[in-house]
Amino acid sequence: MTPDARELIQSLLKSCQARVVAAATVAEAFAHFVEEPPDVLVSNIGMPGEDWYFLIQRIRALPPERGGRVPAVAVTAYASIKDRTRALMEGFTSHVTKPTEPQELLAVVAAVVGRHRAP
CA 78 to chain CA centroid, Å, is 15
Answer yes or no: are the C-beta atoms of 91 and 67 closer than 8 Å: no
Range of the domain at 28: 3-114
Residue 71 lies in a domain: yes
**Domain count within the chain:** 1
H-only helix segments in 2-101: 3-14, 26-35, 52-60, 81-90
Q: Is residue 90 part of a domain?
A: yes
**Residue 70: inside a domain, yes or no?**
yes
pTM for the predicted model, two decimal places: 0.91
Measured between alpha carbons, how far is 84 from 103 in angstroms, rounded to an integer? Answer: 20
45-95, pLDDT tens digit by residue?
A: 877 678 889 999 999 999 999 999 999 999 998 899 999 999 999 999 999
Residue 95, in any domain of the structure? yes
Give the CATH number for residue 73.
3.40.50.2300
Q: Is residue 119 part of a domain?
A: no
Angle made by CA atoms 12, 14, 20, in degrees to the nearest 5: 110
Residue 85: inside a domain, yes or no? yes
The stretch 103-111 carries a mean pLDDT of: 95
Lowest mean pLDDT: which of 6-10, 106-110, 114-118?
114-118
